[in-house]
Amino acid sequence: MIDLKQLRENPDAFRAAYARRGGVEGLDRVIELAARHRESLAEVERMRAEHNRASKAIGLASADERPAAIEAARGLADQIKGLEPQLDQLADDLEAAAAYLPNLPHESVPEGTSEEENVVEREVGERRDLDFEPLDHVALGERLGLFDGERGAKTSGSRFVYLTGSGVILELALVRFAIDFLSERGFEPVITPVLVRRQAMYGTGFLPTEEHEFYKVERDDLYLAGTSEVALASMRAEEILSKDELPVRVAGFSSCFRREAGSYGKDTRGLVRVHQFDKVEQFSFAHPEDSWDELAAIRANQERILQALEIPYRVLVMCAGDLGGSAAKKVDNEAWLPGAQRYMEVTSATNATDYQARRLRIRFKDGSGTRLVHTLNGTACAAGRMIVALVENHQRADGSVTIPGALTPYTGFAEITPRA
RNA sequence: GGAGAGGUCGCCUAGUCCGGUCUAUGGCGCCGGUUUGCUAAACCGGUUGGGCGCAAGCCCUCGGGGGUUCGAAUCCCCCCCUCUCCGCCA
């Protein structure tokens, strides 16, 4: 949620910021509703004050004065009851309309209205010189027995896979590696609930705009979270943190569920685009003045993990038009896939500034008052896609795959060889 | 799933039966001050959160939402959550 007070004071700043996103519908309606709501609120509050005075006087009045005093107060109460429905309606309409307004892009976000205009900031790591025709992860996975998509489809439908054999060990190793890596950097490990209330989805900005992306359990009115970010942010909802404990850093682990609506035909095989995957996520509640440093810290962790796993990648800064609703800035890392001969998003880091904190009411106290924290999130290890990047980059001519040194303490083996 | 007990401004707690100076009590914690070699103790003051307003001030807030009433922490209804016991279950 944006700051409606700021919007009122400086609507042109919002117009300009949303123009950078390629235009946002409904801004003028929000401005108008906010003004009408404010007017109505002032009127109702004025009458409530009058009524409160009248009502209090009754308690002090003598028996003779009472009937007349009650009659007067009743008249005021009736008037207020006549106005309140209109005020409530305005408040509801305002909130509903404002819920669709996205965060303001940070000044450092590149111009652009579509994903073609995202900016490659850097390329890092060397692509290995392969003197053979590399396989993509689907072929490798089949030879090495890492996963089984056909049987996944039989059981649950397309885009569901069984991880099998060494694939399981690889995933568990990656997860533990990422958790240990983050623990050493002040992130407390947390395994989150995956079924979450509407309020948590709304608070993190996935609703109302992205409803179609998520599974919902109607019977219990719960959503399957698309990322542990939802439960991690919501973990501190309504809380007031102390200034001294910021940044609060947590490393979440959970399965993630995405409907992938509208992606028919893309990445239909393998682990790249599936309805369910496991992910270790970084999440920070930061002081507003430190949140851009915190984003840098989260990004540095992502890059160190990729470097430790010896995966070449490029850094892609999302342009204004390609930001999610809650993001003020978003930076992805894309791993190079020698088999598929393309880049694939493996991590994403976002500073949501106070957008989520306002909806979730997550604040901190400093001497002068209570302020909203900034929230940030960033992938540490999306297990499925990391396996894809790992096997494609560390494959050998004979179809086997080597395990980078950083990971072997967790796998217990240094290579995976094709099944007989 | 069944039965019961609860939810009060950081934490604990009084108030709810019997509606009105509740403008929510007290303790702990925290912040500031006095005293003081330093610290502690003691003492004094402050300390829910949000909204409107230049300000004075006003409005809302006792789990959430409705209702009764001139007036609700207090009475009524619905919902959420926590705890205990039973059942079921990994």
Is residue A107 assigned to a domain?
A: no
Strands A313-317 and A329-337: antiparallel
Is residue A270 assigned to a domain?
A: yes
Does residue A39 share a domain with residue A121?
no
Tens-place pLDDT, residues A284-335: 999 888 999 999 999 999 999 999 999 999 999 999 999 989 999 999 999 9
Task: Tell which of A98, A125, A141 closes a domain.
Answer: A98
Does residue A289 share a domain with residue A144?
yes
pLDDT at position A367, please? 64
Domain span at residue A291 reads: 115-416
Is residue A192 assigned to a domain?
A: yes
Nucleotides in chain B with any atom closer than 7 Å to protein CB? 10, 20-21, 49-53, 58-60, 66, 69-71
Give yes or no for CB of A185 within 7 Å of strand B: no
pLDDT at position A217, please? 84
Alpha helix segments (H runs only) across A21-65: 27-60
- Give the pLDDT band of residue A368 (cuts 50, 70, 90): low
User: What is the average pLDDT across A62-75?
Assistant: 81
Instruction: Name the closest nucleotide to A38, judged by C1' and CA.
Output: B52
A144-182 b/e (C-beta count within 10 Å ≥ 16 → b): bebbbbeebeeeeeebebbbeebbebbbebbbbbbbebb
Q: What is the mean pLDDT of chain A?
A: 91
Give yes or no for CB of A195 within 7 Å of strand B: no
CATH of the domain at A68: 1.10.287.40
Does residue A125 share a domain with residue A79?
no
Does residue A325 share a domain with residue A216?
yes
Is residue A110 assigned to a domain?
A: no
Does residue A259 share a domain with residue A351?
yes
Tens-place pLDDT, residues A107-154: 999 999 999 999 999 999 999 888 999 999 999 999 999 999 999 999
Instruction: Name the closest nucleotide to A58, judged by C1' and CA.
Output: B70
Does residue A124 share a domain with residue A81?
no
User: What is the average pLDDT across A407-412?
Assistant: 97
Give yes or no for CB of A79 within 7 Å of strand B: no
Does residue A351 share a domain with residue A256?
yes
In total, how many domains does chain A have? 2
Task: Tell which of A98, A124, A144 closes a domain.
Answer: A98
CATH of the domain at A387: 3.30.930.10
Is residue A304 assigned to a domain?
A: yes
Give yes or no for CB of A88 within 7 Å of strand B: yes
Is the torsion defined by CA of A163, A168, A174, A179 positive or negative?
A: positive
Is residue A109 assigned to a domain?
A: no
CA–C1' span, A369 to B52, in Å? 18
- Residue A412 is given by DSSP the state S
Give yes or no for CB of A85 within 7 Å of strand B: no
In the 312-371 segment of chain A, residues within 7 Å (Cβ) of strand B are 363, 365, 369-370
Does residue A333 share a domain with residue A246?
yes
pLDDT at position A13, please? 93
Question: What's the burial of A291, exposed, middle or buried (CB within 10 Å: 0-12/13-18/19+)?
Answer: buried
Does residue A136 share a domain with residue A79?
no
Does residue A346 share a domain with residue A258?
yes
User: What is the average pLDDT across A256-266?
Assistant: 84
Task: Tell which of A98, A125, A154 closes a domain.
Answer: A98
CA distance A361 to A240: 8
Is residue A404 assigned to a domain?
A: yes
Give yes or no for CB of A59 within 7 Å of strand B: yes
ipTM of the complex in this document: 0.82
Does residue A120 share a domain with residue A216?
yes
CA–C1' span, A37 to B61, in Å? 20
Instruction: Name the closest nucleotide to A66, judged by C1' and CA.
Output: B70
User: What is the average pLDDT across A92-117?
Assistant: 92
The winner for highest mean pLDDT among A73-77, A203-207, A277-281 is A277-281
Is omega for the bond preceding A247 within 30 degrees of 0, making it cis?
Answer: yes
Does residue A87 share a domain with residue A199?
no
Is residue A379 assigned to a domain?
A: yes
